[in-house]
């Protein structure tokens, strides 16, 4: 253990005696000296700017601390380590309050001059020279220690920016990004509290994450009406504050001292009671420069956000989080209380699973069921994933997987006992790929419940698993398959990477990206052509294609005609409880004849199969042998022989290759018009 350096060792044997000769005089004059020093400092431009940002109480506290520090400098018992520690604390306070290094040096020169003029003459002439040497040396130690604090804070800010970069790169979920960002920002010394907010569909700013005790209290005050909620509406008083101005301008807005910022009037009293003295409103922007989110940050230090180092941090924060939020911002706005509540419910295991059947589109036989998580609210109601998943980060998703594995294992065994197909499929979080805790959870569930091969299937979505090398990912998948787990590639067609994975790993099944199916509502031609080609692609790899999101009879009929193997959606059956599943299975009747479509979308699908085959000689796909005859049969059954559609079809069927593209658009438009008029449900 290092030995303490004493006053005598530093300044000589009689140093303490020399300091004691003026100790009483310094004690008596310290307060007055501090007042005169700050009066002199306020005469400089920088000093006036900093001191002018302080309220009377804070300025009085600062004078008291300065008087105490003066007494410390003249203390005969002050050891070097204690002096350096006190100086570092003072330096940190100065740095956080906006004092830069040049001003610090200038202040020390002024301080030294004031000491020489006012206090040193109090000593007897024989010891004045020695006293001057001791005090000057202590002032130098003080300055060096305070400068070290400046350097430390610069390093902390640089580390915070580096951690922010890593967070923005690694975060796979919006919830993890915003909670991680608020936690990281909150760890920065001087930043007392803050919020992350986005506008909901009504244009109201909703806080989705916060940090700091003061921040939580401030948010509750806004929600209860004690203070106005921050607004982006320029016509409201609450929209004239720093947050509203930042949102509309796209520029960072700093309130260096709330004491002097009139635009902060509606919030000033509450903020002052919570110790907030300055703020920064940081708008996050999309690629077009439009504000998509707002960070509101608060400090107990006046001018904290006005320093060059923090200004650089705020600009970096804005740039990095803007890109990260855009990358992950597919989630609806979810107010902080709901976010917290949903996460608590998941942690408490308040999850129930419903099951949606997946059927063979040739025979109508049940193939397997997908387990779909629902969150149980306080009234016993069930919340759909689109309501609570936006609140989920990686921890919540892992908990959901654990709960799903447990329930799926129990129900797979029950399905087998009752004579139903016993494959249960679960969504597998993409960040779980090649992660040991996820692998252990799956293998543990299989072993504990004695699941047979194929009873459990995992659906893997294409997303941010690019952080895992293909070799590591494929080794992970092979281990699961060896344990008897079926593997399905979900969202085929969503990203280029999902197609590459089919070539790198032989999945048992693939699912078409649901948004492509939903696109049939607006652009059926594009959706159906995608389904046609993806079915051919899957079959080329020896896999079966499942189409989910078949919400009405037209889509179901089209999926059959275009060659999909399995189907899932409300047109077949909605998600249901386990007991409802068995009753559904006993009564379900599948009545689709691809050669006799009964919906306009089904007939359109047949027409597109004919067109795609005609456009590419030798191309095969779909299940209808003679799609032209199928389309003509639909026209006859509907009594449309004299319609515009019939005339266009006749012309198109007989046209040459060069004329077909222009005619195709007109034909599709006619089919869509009929579909929009028809009652698009299959007869019971």
Rounded-to-integer distance, Cα 516 and Cα 527, Å: 6
Query: Which residues of 128-204 form beta strands (DSSP E)?
Result: 191-199
Residue 683's pLDDT band, with cuts at 50, 70 and 90, is very low
Query: What CATH topology corresponds to 173-333?
Result: Beta-Lactamase (3.30.450)
The DSSP code for 576 is B
Is it the case that residue 157 has pLDDT exceeding 80? Answer: yes
Compute the half-sphere exposure of residue 539: CA atoms within 13 Å on the CB side of its CA. Answer: 15
Query: Which residues of 493-567 form beta strands (DSSP E)?
Result: 509-512, 544-547, 566-567
Is it the case that residue 294 has pLDDT exceeding 90? Answer: yes
Is it the case that residue 362 has pLDDT exceeding 60? Answer: yes
User: Which carries the bigger pLDDT value, residue 127 or residue 366?
Assistant: 366
Count the Cβ atoms, other than its own, within 10 Å of residue 501: 20
User: Which carries the bigger pLDDT value, residue 38 or residue 161?
Assistant: 161
Task: Give residue 500's pLDDT.
Answer: 59
Residue with tokens 């438009």: 669
Task: Give me the mean pLDDT over the 432-461 stretch.
Answer: 92
Residue 265's pLDDT band, with cuts at 50, 70 and 90, is confident
User: Which carries the bigger pLDDT value, residue 563 or residue 77?
Assistant: 563
Own/partner contacts of 154-162, CB < 8 Å, gap of 24 or more, are 154/309, 156/188, 156/189, 157/188, 157/309, 157/310, 157/312, 157/313, 160/184, 160/185, 160/187, 160/188, 160/313, 161/313, 161/316, 161/317, 161/320
Handedness of CA 538, 543, 548, 550 (dihedral sign): positive
Q: Say what percent of the chain tops pLDDT 70.
A: 91
Contact (Cβ atoms closer than 8 angstroms) between residue 102 and residue 50: no
Domain ranges of the chain: 7-156, 173-333, 342-589, 593-684
Contact (Cβ atoms closer than 8 angstroms) between residue 167 and residue 180: yes
Q: Is 244 exposed, middle or buried (0-12, 13-18, 19+ CB in 10 A)?
A: buried
Rounded-to-integer distance, Cα 256 and Cα 279, Å: 7
Is it the case that residue 613 has pLDDT exceeding 60? Answer: yes
User: Which carries the bigger pLDDT value, residue 391 or residue 462?
Assistant: 391
Residues, the chain, total? 684
User: Would strands 351-360 and 366-376 be described as parallel, antiparallel, or unpaired?
Assistant: antiparallel
Task: Give me the mean pLDDT over the 141-153 stretch.
Answer: 88
Residue 617's pLDDT band, with cuts at 50, 70 and 90, is low
Candidate from 10-24, 130-144, 206-220 with smallest mean pLDDT: 10-24
Q: Is 212 exposed, middle or buried (0-12, 13-18, 19+ CB in 10 A)?
A: buried
Task: Give residue 296's pLDDT.
Answer: 94
Candidate from 260-264, 432-436, 547-551, 597-601 with smallest mean pLDDT: 260-264
pLDDT tens digit string along 427-436? 998 888 888 9
Residue with tokens 């000033």: 268
User: Would strands 382-383 and 366-376 be described as parallel, antiparallel, or unpaired?
Assistant: antiparallel
Rounded-to-integer distance, Cα 469 and Cα 489, Å: 17
pLDDT tens digit string along 546-558? 999 999 899 999 9
Task: Give me the mean pLDDT over the 243-257 stretch.
Answer: 93
User: Which carries the bigger pLDDT value, residue 246 or residue 173?
Assistant: 246
Task: Give residue 120's pLDDT.
Answer: 65
Question: Which residues are CB-neighbours of 134 under 8 A, at least 6 positions away?
Answer: 11, 15, 18, 19
Is it the case that residue 255 has pLDDT exceeding 60? Answer: yes
Rounded-to-integer distance, Cα 344 and Cα 452, Å: 34
Residue 680's pLDDT band, with cuts at 50, 70 and 90, is very low
Rounded-to-integer distance, Cα 528 and Cα 517, Å: 8
pLDDT tens digit string along 297-343? 999 888 889 888 899 999 999 999 999 999 887 778 888 899 999 99
Cα–Cα distances in angstroms (integers) from residue 597 to residues 558, 647, 649, 663, in the given order: 8, 19, 16, 22
Task: Give residue 496's pLDDT.
Answer: 45
Task: Give me the mean pLDDT over the 61-68 stretch.
Answer: 83
Task: Give residue 8's pLDDT.
Answer: 61
Rounded-to-integer distance, Cα 454 and Cα 484, Å: 6
Is it the case that residue 367 has pLDDT exceeding 80? Answer: yes
Rounded-to-integer distance, Cα 142 and Cα 148, Å: 10
Task: Give residue 681's pLDDT.
Answer: 44
Task: Give residue 128's pLDDT.
Answer: 73
Is it the case that residue 122 has pLDDT exceeding 80? Answer: no
Task: Give me the mean pLDDT over the 194-209 stretch.
Answer: 92
Contact (Cβ atoms closer than 8 angstroms) between residue 614 and residue 660: yes
pLDDT tens digit string along 494-539? 544 456 566 667 788 888 878 788 877 778 888 898 899 888 888 8
Rounded-to-integer distance, Cα 371 and Cα 405, Å: 10
Q: Which helix (H) or strand (E) covers residue 183, if one does?
A: helix 174-186
User: Which carries the bigger pLDDT value, residue 563 or residue 13?
Assistant: 563
Task: Give residue 306's pLDDT.
Answer: 87
DSSP 61-99: HHHHHHHHHHHHHT-TT--HHHHHHHHHHHHHHHHHTT-
User: Which carries the bigger pLDDT value, residue 467 or residue 590?
Assistant: 590
User: Would strands 566-567 and 205-211 be described as parallel, antiparallel, or unpaired?
Assistant: unpaired
Both tokens assigned to 84: 């350096």
Q: Whole-model pTM?
A: 0.79
Contact (Cβ atoms closer than 8 angstroms) between residue 507 and residue 544: no
Question: Which residues are CB-neighbours of 381 under 8 A, at least 6 positions away?
Answer: none
Q: Which helix (H) or strand (E) covers residue 374, if one does?
A: strand 366-376
Collapsing DSSP to helix, strand or coil, 368 comes out as strand
Is it the case that residue 487 has pLDDT exceeding 80? Answer: yes
pLDDT tens digit string along 76-114? 888 888 888 888 988 888 888 877 777 777 777 777 777
Rounded-to-integer distance, Cα 648 and Cα 629, Å: 15
CATH entry 1.10.490.10 includes domain 7-156: yes
Question: Which residues are CB-neighbours of 172 under 8 A, at least 6 positions away?
Answer: 328, 394, 430, 431, 463, 464
3-state helix, strand, coil in the chain (%, to 5): 60, 15, 30
Of residues 189, 206, 202, 212, the one with CA closest to residue 294? 206
Tell me if domain 173-333 and domain 342-589 are identical in fold. Answer: no
User: Which carries the bigger pLDDT value, residue 499 or residue 26?
Assistant: 26
Which CATH architecture fits 342-589? Alpha-Beta Barrel (3.20)
Residue 11's pLDDT band, with cuts at 50, 70 and 90, is low
The DSSP code for 661 is H
Is it the case that residue 682 has pLDDT exceeding 50? Answer: no
Q: Say what percent of the chain tops pLDDT 90.
A: 42
Task: Give residue 139's pLDDT.
Answer: 83
DSSP 215-252: HHHHHHHHHHTSSPPP---TTSGGGSSHHHHHHHH-S-
Handedness of CA 288, 291, 292, 294 (dihedral sign): positive
């Amino acid at each position: 253990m290092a030995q303490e350096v004493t006053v005598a060792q530093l300044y000589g044997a009689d140093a303490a005696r020399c300091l004691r000769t003026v100790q009483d005089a310094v004690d008596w004059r310290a307060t007055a000296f501090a007042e005169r020093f700050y009066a002199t400092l306020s005469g400089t431009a920088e000093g006036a700017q900093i001191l002018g940002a302080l309220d009377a109480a804070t300025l009085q506290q600062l004078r008291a601390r300065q008087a105490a520090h003066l007494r410390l400098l003249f203390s005969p018992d002050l050891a070097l380590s204690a002096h350096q520690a006190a100086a570092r604390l003072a330096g940190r306070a100065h740095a956080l309050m906006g004092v830069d290094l040049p001003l610090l040096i200038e202040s020390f020169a002024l301080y030294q001059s004031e000491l020489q003029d006012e206090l040193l003459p109090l000593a007897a002439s024989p010891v004045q020279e020695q006293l001057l040497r001791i005090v000057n040396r202590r002032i130098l130690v003080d300055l060096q220690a305070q400068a070290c604090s400046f350097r430390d804070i610069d390093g902390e800010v640089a580390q915070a920016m580096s951690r922010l970069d890593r967070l923005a790169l690694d975060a796979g979920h919006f919830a993890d990004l915003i909670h991680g960002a608020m936690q990281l920002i909150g760890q920065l010394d001087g930043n007392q509290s803050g919020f992350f907010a986005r506008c909901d569909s009504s244009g109201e700013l909703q806080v989705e994450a916060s940090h700091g005790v003061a921040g939580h209290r401030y948010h509750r005050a806004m929600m209860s009406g004690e203070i106005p909620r921050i607004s982006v509406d320029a016509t409201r008083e609450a929209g004239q504050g720093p947050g509203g101005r930042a949102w509309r301008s796209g520029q960072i807005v700093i309130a260096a001292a709330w004491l002097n910022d009139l635009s902060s009037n509606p919030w000033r009293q509450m903020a002052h009671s919570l110790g907030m003295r300055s703020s920064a409103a940081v708008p996050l922007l999309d690629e077009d420069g439009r504000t998509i989110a707002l960070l509101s940050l608060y400090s107990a230090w006046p001018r904290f956000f006005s320093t060059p180092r923090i200004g650089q941090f705020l600009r970096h924060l804005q740039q990095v989080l803007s890109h990260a939020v855009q990358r992950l911002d597919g989630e609806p706005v979810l107010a902080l209380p709901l976010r917290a509540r949903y996460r608590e419910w998941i942690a408490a295991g308040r999850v129930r699973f419903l099951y949606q059947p997946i059927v063979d589109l040739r025979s109508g036989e049940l193939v397997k069921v997908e387990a779909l998580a629902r969150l149980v609210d306080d009234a016993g109601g069930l919340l759909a994933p689109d309501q609570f998943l936006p609140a989920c980060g990686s921890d919540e998703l892992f908990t959901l997987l654990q709960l799903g594995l447990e329930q799926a294992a129990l129900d797979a065994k029950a399905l087998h006992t009752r004579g139903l197909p016993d494959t249960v499929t679960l969504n597998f979080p993409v960040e779980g790929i090649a992660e040991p805790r996820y692998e252990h959870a799956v293998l543990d569930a299989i072993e504990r419940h004695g699941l047979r091969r194929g009873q459990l299937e995992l659906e893997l979505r294409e997303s941010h698993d690019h952080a895992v090398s293909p070799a590591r990912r494929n080794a992970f998948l092979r281990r699961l398959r060896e344990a008897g787990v079926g593997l399905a590639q979900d969202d085929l067609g969503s990203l280029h990477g999902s197609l590459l994975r089919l070539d790198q790993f032989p999945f048992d099944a693939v699912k078409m990206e649901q948004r492509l199916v939903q696109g049939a509502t607006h652009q059926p031609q594009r959706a159906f052509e995608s389904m046609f080609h993806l079915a051919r692609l899957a079959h080329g790899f020896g896999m079966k294609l499942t189409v989910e999101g078949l919400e009405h009879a037209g889509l179901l009929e089209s999926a059959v005609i275009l060659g999909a193997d399995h189907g899932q959606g409300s047109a077949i059956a909605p998600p249901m409880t386990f007991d409802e599943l068995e009753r559904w299975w006993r009564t379900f009747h599948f009545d689709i004849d691809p050669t006799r479509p009964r919906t306009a979308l089904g007939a359109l699908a047949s027409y597109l199969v004919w067109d795609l085959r005609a456009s590419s000689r030798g191309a095969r796909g779909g299940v209808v042998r003679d799609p032209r005859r199928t389309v003509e049969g639909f026209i006859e059954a509907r009594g449309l022989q004299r319609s515009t559609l019939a005339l266009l079809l006749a012309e198109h069927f007989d046209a040459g290759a060069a004329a077909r593209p222009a005619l195709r658009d007109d034909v599709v438009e006619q089919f869509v018009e009929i579909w929009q008029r028809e009652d698009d449900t299959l007869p019971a």
